[in-house]
Amino acid sequence: MTVKVRFAPSPTGRLHVGNVRTALLNVLFARSQGGAVLLRIDDTDLERSTQENEDAIKADLIWLGLSWDETFKQSERFDKYEAAKQSLIDQGLLYPCYETEDELDRKRKIQRAQSKPPVYDRAALSLTDEDKAKLDAEGRKPHWRFKLSGGRIEWTDLVRGPSHIETSSVSDPILIRADGSYLYTLPSVVDDLDSNVTHIIRGEDHVTNSAAQIEIFEALGGQGSAPAMGHTALLVGADGDKLSKRLGSLSIEDLREIDGYEPMAVCSLLAKIGTSDAVDARDDLQQLADEFEFGKLSRTPARFDPEELKRLNAKLVHAMSYADAQPKLAALDADGGEAVWLTVRPNLTFVKDVIEWVRLIEGPVTPAIADEDADFVSQAGDMLPEGALTGESWSVWTGALKEATGRKGKALFKPLRMALTGQERGPEMAEILPLIGAEKAKARLKGVTV
Ligand code: GLU
């Protein structure tokens, strides 16, 4: 059997960390099996789906390295869904219902008051052809429900293990709304069957849908036609609470454009949280795929901690070669050459943090020298160690200055930093001094803007 998975975003919004984790786990599983990935655009909601969202979702997936082998949109396949609808009607498994939202609400309230579960009472099943003709003549538009078997649906979940749902405790799901639009349930099954999808991996918020879908698979594709299913635990915040609104809607676009994260930091974190593996950065998706196993996924929620994402990002940046960094540096207009990159990278969390360093190194920097420090700073310029500056130069130099002037602590260090960088705060002086170089350092200590 050739493994085939699908990721099925609805282009009604952007990708965020939660749905990217689903995409990632699908891709990792497929790659671990030499299988294929289908990107299905679930745009049956024609009002809320936009081309702009679809393009942005694809751009995000490409940036993350989550490629696909095949893609299509559901809006191109309405004829298939119509045929499936007819097949279910012919089998007596899809029936029209005329209750309004208000009527359904009232029924649920009464059930709750009687301590009964709010399961649809199937009143529409007893409508006669005459009743229906009358309602149609009144201009009432039906919505359509799938008739569940009422039995127990069992499957071995790839993540949750042996699972079951008693369909008697679930309402017959609405597959088609009164306005004729399809909910995702039926089109998804039709497409999974047509595309020969072998594994459905999605969040555990879909578990109840899965039971109904297994019955729809069997109605349309025959016994045993439902793909294997895995339902992953949802993401929670670092404190174990529901993902906050801000984090839950954290878009990949923001992580990329505003924060400047590396795609592999995002993928590494999302692949490792909620698993038995340690959360650590990996250089490429193939490594993550090689390490992927359903058995490692925990049933308890996966904690998404932005601080951990930063830690992984920093680790990737610290190990990034100049060749890999160079295009990014060029785009930031902050390419100071290989030596600068190699010296500076251990201090960075994001590649873009390099900008500040390069600006201080290359200048022009206007030295900030207080009147009362002018003599001291000038003397410091005269006392700069001879020859090329190294990682030790700062401590050798400030040690000698301390001895010569009696200054120490802030009175010693702050005027030097202010003269050399024009700022009160910034990178470690011991590291930046050799990059500034003796010539520029001396000039700045003499008050020259270079
Ligand atoms: N478009 C559906 C969603 O985003 C797909 C669910 C599925 O993976 O089957 O919820």
For ligand 1, say whether the CB of 192 is within 6 Å of any of its atoms. no
Looking at the fold, whether 340 and 390 belong to one and the same domain comes out as no
Instruction: Confirm if 422 and 367 have CB atoms less than 8 A apart.
Output: yes
Q: Which residues pair with 161 in a beta bridge?
A: 157
Q: How many residues can be counted in the chain?
A: 450
Query: Average model confidence (pLDDT) for the chain?
Result: 95
Ligand 1 pocket: which of 7, 10, 37 to mutate (most atoms within 8 A of CB)? 10
Asked, for residue 270, whether it belongs to a domain, the answer is yes
Q: Which residues contact 345 (CB under 8 A, 6 or more apart)?
A: 317, 318, 320, 325, 354
Looking at the fold, whether 375 and 309 belong to one and the same domain comes out as no
pLDDT score, position 248: 62
CB atoms within 10 A of CB 210: 22
Name the residue range of residue 335's domain. 322-362
The distance from CA 263 to its chain's CA centroid, rounded to whole angstroms, is 10
Looking at the fold, whether 331 and 279 belong to one and the same domain comes out as no
Instruction: Confirm if 102 and 70 have CB atoms less than 8 A apart.
Output: no
Residue pLDDT, tens place only, 269-289: 999 999 999 999 999 999 999
**pTM, two decimal places:** 0.89
Residue pLDDT, tens place only, 91-146: 999 999 999 999 999 999 999 999 999 999 999 999 999 999 999 999 999 999 99
- Taking the CA of residue 40 as reference, the ligand 1 atom at the shortest distance is 1
Place of tokens 């949280």: 273
Tokens of 219: 């109605």
R_g (Cα) of the chain, nearest Å? 31
Which of 285, 319, 353 delimits the end of a domain?
319
**Per-residue pLDDT at 220 exceeds 90:** yes
pLDDT score, position 244: 66
Looking at the fold, whether 152 and 85 belong to one and the same domain comes out as yes
CA of 87 to the centre of ligand 1 (A): 23
For ligand 1, say whether the CB of 188 is within 6 Å of any of its atoms. yes
Looking at the fold, whether 243 and 262 belong to one and the same domain comes out as yes
Return the CATH number at 153: 3.90.800.10
CA of 185 to the centre of ligand 1 (A): 8
Residue pLDDT, tens place only, 31-88: 999 999 999 999 999 899 999 999 999 999 999 999 999 999 999 999 999 999 999 9
Q: What is the dihedral of CA 287, 288, 290, 291, to 10 degrees?
A: 120
Asked, for residue 227, whether it belongs to a domain, the answer is no
For ligand 1, say whether the CB of 8 is within 6 Å of any of its atoms. yes
**Per-residue pLDDT at 374 exceeds 70:** yes
For ligand 1, say whether the CB of 184 is within 6 Å of any of its atoms. yes
Q: Residue 8 — very low, low, confident or very high, per pLDDT cuts 50/70/90?
A: very high
Q: Which residues contact 245 (CB under 8 A, 6 or more apart)?
A: none
Distance of alpha carbon 62 from alpha carbon 205, whole angstroms = 26
Q: What is the dihedral of CA 64, 186, 204, 228, to 10 degrees?
A: -80
Q: Residue 450 — very low, low, confident or very high, per pLDDT cuts 50/70/90?
A: very high
Asked, for residue 225, whether it belongs to a domain, the answer is no
pLDDT score, position 257: 86
- Taking the CA of residue 188 as reference, the ligand 1 atom at the shortest distance is 9
Residue pLDDT, tens place only, 137-192: 999 999 999 999 999 999 999 999 999 999 999 999 999 999 999 999 999 999 99
CA of 7 to the centre of ligand 1 (A): 8
First to last CA, the chain: 67
Asked, for residue 185, whether it belongs to a domain, the answer is no
pLDDT score, position 246: 66
Asked, for residue 206, whether it belongs to a domain, the answer is no
pLDDT score, position 245: 62
CA of 54 to the centre of ligand 1 (A): 14
Q: Which residues contact 423 (CB under 8 A, 6 or more apart)?
A: 360, 368, 417
CA of 8 to the centre of ligand 1 (A): 5
Asked, for residue 283, whether it belongs to a domain, the answer is yes
For ligand 1, say whether the CB of 9 is within 6 Å of any of its atoms. yes
Angle between helix axes 429-436 and 393-405 (nearest 10 degrees) is 100
CA of 122 to the centre of ligand 1 (A): 26
The distance from CA 181 to its chain's CA centroid, rounded to whole angstroms, is 29
**Per-residue pLDDT at 242 exceeds 90:** no
Nearest CA to ligand 1 atom 5: 8
- Taking the CA of residue 209 as reference, the ligand 1 atom at the shortest distance is 9
Asked, for residue 199, whether it belongs to a domain, the answer is no
Looking at the fold, whether 163 and 238 belong to one and the same domain comes out as no
- Taking the CA of residue 192 as reference, the ligand 1 atom at the shortest distance is 9
HSE-CB of 283 using CA atoms within 13 angstroms: 5
Which of 308, 334, 362 delimits the end of a domain?
362
Selection from 18, 336, 355, 42 nearest residue 204 by Cα? 18
Instruction: Confirm if 30 and 5 have CB atoms less than 8 A apart.
Output: yes
